[in-house]
Every structure is written in C-alpha cells, then in structure tokens.
Amino acid sequence: MSSQSKGVLTGNEALVRGFYEAGGLVAASYPGSPTVEVLETIKSYEGVYAEFSTNEKVALEVAIGGSFTGARSMAVMKHVGMNIASDPLMTFTETPIRGGFVLVSGDDPGMASSQNEQDNRLFAKFANMAILSPGNSQEAKDYTKLAFSLSEDFQLPTLLNITSRVCHSRSVVTMGEREEHAPTGFDLDPVKYAMIPKNTYQAQYFMKDRLEKLQEYAYDCPVNQLEEKDGATILVIASGLMYYNLKEIDPPVSIYKLGLTYPLSIKRIKELSEQYDEIIVLEEMMPFIENELKIHGIPCSGKSYFSFTGELNSEEIAEGLYKAGVLKKKIDRAEKTAAVARPPLFCSGCPHRPIFDILKKSKVKIMGDIGCYSLAAQAPFNGSSSIISMGASIGITKGVQKALALKEDPKPLVAVIGDGTFFHSGIPGFINLLHQADDKDNLTIIILDNRTTAMTGGQSNASSGHYNLADDMNIDIESLIKTIGFKQVVMVDQFKYDEAKKVINNEIKRPGISIVIATRPCALKYKIKEPHFYVDPSICIGCRSCVNTNCPPIRMKEYKDYDKLKSSIDANMCVGCSICAQVCPVNAIKRSESD
C-alpha cells in the first residue's frame, strides 16, 4: 500500500500500518481473537521481523529483546494472553525504554470468542504502563504511532487497548510515510536493566516519576479533546468506541473524549467538574475511569446506568442516558429478527470429532482445554466437564484425581489437549503429572495432534513442519513425552475409528497414567479432500449413528418411495474422512469412485 493515500482498513490492519509508519522493526504474537490478523498483516511489510511465538510470554520476551536493542517493537495478544505474559511484563516495566515498546491487548467485551471478559486497563495500571484506547481504524493507526513516541519520550511501555469491535470493523484511514528508526545496538546498563534487589528499589521511584510526568502531559494531550455543547450541564467522559456510539445519539451533553486513558489528568478533570452539574463516565466492562475519578474525590456516576458486562451499542447507551435523566424519552429499539439457530460445529473432516464420539460412548469424565475441541463441550457430545485456560486441563485433572482418591473413588479420568496448547503451556502440566504419581492414579491424557493452531485460522506451531516443509519447526511430541519420562505412550489414527476406539477404551481401563497421541492433519489447514461418501437409502435403517457424529454434511431427509427418514450426505461439503461409514452398522454409507 502506497503512502499518502487512503484505504478502508480494519482496526487490526490499521494498527499494523501505524506500526510500519512508526518505523516498527520487531513484532511477536500468539494467535488469539480479536488480534490474530495483526501478525498475519505485519508479515506483508518488508524489512520487519515478525513471528508467532510459542506463547504470549515468549512473544513478549522477543519484543522486549528487540526494544533492548533500540528497535521499535510490539507484542500482540488477546486479553487473556496478558495473564501468561505477566511475569516478564511486571519486571520489564521497571526498566527504561530504548526502542519504543507497545503491547497490544485485544479485549473482548461480550466474550464473543473468549473464556472471560477481563479488562486489561486494570492490568496496565497494575504494571505502571500508559494506556491508549482507539475507537476506529484511523485512531488505531494514529494511536499506535503515538504509543511508540510516548514510550520513548516517557521511558515506559505503552498498552494499546483495543476491543474486538474496533479490531474487526472497517473505516477510512489516511496513510503516511514510514519513519526509519534504526536499532541502536545492545549495550545495556546493568544498573537499569538487571532487576536484582540492589537495583529495583530505585526503579520504583523511576516508575513513579515517569507516570507523574505523563500525567502532566495528559492535561492538554492532543488525543484528549473537550467537545462543548451550548447550555449543557452534564459532561460525559468517554473513550474508544464508546465515544463514537455516543455521538450517534447526539445527546444534550458536553463530551470529554479520552485517547490517553491512563494516567488521567486529574487536574484537568477537576477543573471541568467545576463547570458542570454532573459527570457521567461511559465505558465498557469495568468502571476503570469512574473509579479513578472517585479515588481522587471527583463526584461522578457511570455503571449505575450502564451494563457492567458485554458490549454497549448506541441503543444501550441511550437507555442508560434515559435512566440518568439526560434523555427525556426512550429511544425505540429495533426489533430483533429471529435467526435460524446454528450451533458451532467441528469442520467437515475434523479429526477431533471421532475422538469425542468415542469418549461420549465410553461415558468417562473429560477435562477440556482451549482450542477447536472446546466445541465438544456442547451438544451433541457434551464432552468436557471443565474448560478454564490454555493448558489447564492437565493440572486440573491431576487435582481431581488426587481429591477423588482421598475419598476412595478411583474413577478413571480423561483430559484432552491440542498440540498448539501442548506447546503453549501444557508441557509443565505433563511434567508435574509424574510428581508424586501413584500406581492407583487412572488418568488418560489424549493429545489431539493436528499439527496447527486451528482455532485461530491455522497458524503454525512447533509440530507443523511434519506436514509442511515451509514450517521450520517439527518437534515430535511422542519423543518429547517419552523423554519427559512417560512409559505408556500410544499413537492412534483417529480416522481408523474401530482401532482408535479399542486403544482409547483400553487405556481408560488401564491403571496408571496413559498418554494417547491422536494424529491426523487439520482438514481445513491442509485442504484435505478425498472422494466423498454417499448414503444408499435402500440399506439405511435411519438409526442416526452417522448423524450423531455431528458431521456438517450429514442430515436426515425424505427419499422418494421411502416412508422413513434416511440419512444423506452433502457431497460438496464431504471431504471423505470416512468416519460416518465406519460407524454405520449396516454398511449403507459408501465412498464414491471420484469427486
């Protein structure tokens, strides 16, 4: 894309453009919605090093290394990724900045694709970082550039706090020229960068001083703007997308729009509070700004009018302003149109499906994890009793087993984990399984190895090189598991349904710890397409065994000359995995000669 032009970009694409124009050189991420497209987009720019790292902690460390060398660097992750990255982050923020450092957190109000709704503005304050909150694509680009400048000018890491709606929506963006910022080299002063007790006491004062200086800058910071309305007695403070949603309503209030959302200029807001009868804070998720004002004795309200959870669109904001007495009548809400319910499904040919069909029939208790296979927690499989966080299934399963043993209830338990999650944070859990292991333990851990990070679009992981020479990592999970010390490790091909079922059921019955590695490539990533299957209605007995595998191409339908519903297969969707044919008790499902 040429400079000095305009384009329609998503928020993710726009912040990448900002990274490029700011002279960004090093970027690292772990894929997760809503920011998964950021690294994919950065790779399209030349002269930039970008990688999907093993997890968010490693991604942060790679970006820290770039910054230490004077390169403007960026780490990108979804909001829960900051939990993984927090260990190095909380110490890195004690050090001065050489190359500007930006941490992008993709927050997810409403939890469209996340297990929780944590508000990382709180995390950034906890870590002594500045926070910038863009509300559209142009701001995503501009604020990214500003974030690098603030990082270097005030010597602190800056959080770009972007939400899922801004990440994925599109708006016009004006491009600019790239500023080159060459790395300065690696010659760090240990007193400032070696965070041992001897040096960290002074670092506490350093963090305090730089935030106070930034707070002074916030007083007339160009991205904090007051929009006065004639006769208004109420001031609404808003940031990010909330500002634009508020503008759609055009209420009779003045607006203080915050681009720099931490630290706040308390001096400026106190001055404004003397000019208005009331201050209302409009923000999604936690009452972060509202609490900051109250801590400093500035009377205000906010969450008493607006939901504490989920997204706030213009209609919900209008309803809150009506409750607050700002609007004198309710705004009619658009009637919701009924839509056909479409529960999430495994993809056609997904190798995870037969495993959960086998486990469902075994009636064993299963601990799930984060990945495509979290879909198995829903009907018809109902196949996961718990899903907490990346890699947590292994440790939780051990804890459940140990607690059950104390009440002499040695039921077998199964945990599932994908290969991407295994490399992300699962390995320490596996190592811990061998700590104080008991012969009476009965744990079966199934590693679902499809050689990609499938849920976020098929990014490479540490075992992807097995199927794709373009991927430069090909770690063999079986060898690694055996090196850790596990003796009972078996491999299964989940598309050989009967063999896989026999192996898994045997391992569930076997006392001790068993590791089952189920290996087949992701059908979507590796474009699996074999000759399709079809149903012979003259043989089909309508038992629904194939339908119960939850494969998208299979459904029941009426056939001419048959009274009973029979199953059918959409040839265009079928990738030929054969699981339906293997579970059919009467051999009514057959493979076509060719597609």
For residue range 54-70, list pLDDT tens digits in order: 999 999 999 999 999 99
580 assigned ligand-binding residue: yes
H-state helical runs in 4-162: 11-21, 36-42, 56-68, 81-92, 120-126, 137-154
**Is 546 assigned to a binding site?**
yes
Q: Is 372 marked as a binding-site residue?
A: no
Partnered with residue 386 across adjacent β-strands are 367
Residue 540 annotated as binding? yes
> What is the DSSP code string of 177-230?
PPPP-----S---HHHH--SHHHHHHHHHHHHHHHHHHHHHHTT-TTSEEE--T
Residue carrying structure tokens 């020229």? 177
Quick one: 116 exposed, middle or buried, by C-beta within 10 A (0-12, 13-18, 19+)? exposed
User: Does 574 appear as a known binding residue?
Assistant: yes
Give this prediction's pTM: 0.93
Q: What are 202's two structure tokens?
A: 């002074």
* Lookup result for tokens 């790239």: 178
Distance of alpha carbon 330 from alpha carbon 1, whole angstroms? 45
Asked whether the bond before 34 is cis by omega within 30 degrees of 0, the reply is yes
CA-CA distance, 164 to 117, in Å (whole number)? 11
Instruction: Write down the pLDDT at residue 3.
Output: 55
Tell me what pLDDT residue 85 has: 97
Contact of 161 with 119, CB cutoff 8 Å: no
Q: Please choose, from the candidates 77, 155, 126, the residue with its C-alpha nearest in 3D space to the C-alpha of residue 262.
A: 126
Backbone angles phi, psi at 234, to 5 degrees: -120, 140
3-state secondary structure of 555: strand
What torsion, rounded to 10 degrees, do the Cα atoms 54, 58, 63, 65 define? -130
Ranges of the chain with pLDDT below 50: none
Spatial separation of the C-alpha atoms in residues 428 and 421, rounded to whole Å: 11
Report the length, in residues, of the chain. Answer: 595
543 marked as part of a ligand binding site: yes
Look-up of token digits 């192996």: 503
Question: Which pLDDT tens digit goes with each residue over 312-332?
Answer: 999 999 999 999 999 998 877
| Contacts with 208 (C-beta within 8 Å, 6 or more apart), sequence order | none
pLDDT at position 594: 67
Which element (helix H / strand E) includes 235?
strand 234-239
What is the rounded distance in angstroms from the CA atom of residue 494 to the CA atom of residue 577?
10
Contacts made by residues 453-457, CB under 8 angstroms, sequence distance 24+: 453/31, 453/52, 453/420, 454/371, 454/372, 454/418, 454/420, 454/522, 454/524, 454/525, 455/370, 455/371, 455/372, 455/374, 456/31, 456/32, 456/33, 456/36, 457/31, 457/36, 457/40
pLDDT for res 4: 66
Q: What span, in angstroms and rounded, lies between the C-alpha atoms of 536 and 443? A: 41
Strands 101-107 and 158-163: parallel
Question: Which residues 6+ apart lie within 8 Å of 546 measured at CB?
Answer: 535, 554, 567, 580, 581, 583, 584, 589
The answer for residues whose C-beta is within 8 angstroms of residue 240's C-beta and 6 or more apart is 133, 134, 135, 161, 162, 163, 166, 261, 284
Q: What is the pLDDT of residue 467?
A: 85
Using alpha carbons, select from 522, 331, 508, 340 the residue that is nearest to residue 418.
Answer: 522
577 marked as binding residue: yes
Residue that the structure tokens 């990082």 belong to = 151
CB distance 296 to 273 below 8 Å: no
Q: Using CA atoms, how far apart are residues 435 and 148, in angstroms rounded to an integer?
A: 45
- What is the DSSP secondary-structure string of 355-381? HHHHHHHHT-EEE--SSGGGGGGSTTT
Residue 229, exposed/middle/buried by CB under 10 A (0-12, 13-18, 19+)?
middle
- d(CA 542, CA 224) in angstroms, rounded, equals 65
User: What confidence score (pLDDT) does residue 338 get?
Assistant: 73
Q: Which domains does the chain have, with CATH numbers?
A: 5-218 (3.40.50.970), 224-324 (3.40.50.920), 351-519 (3.40.50.970), 533-591 (3.30.70.20)
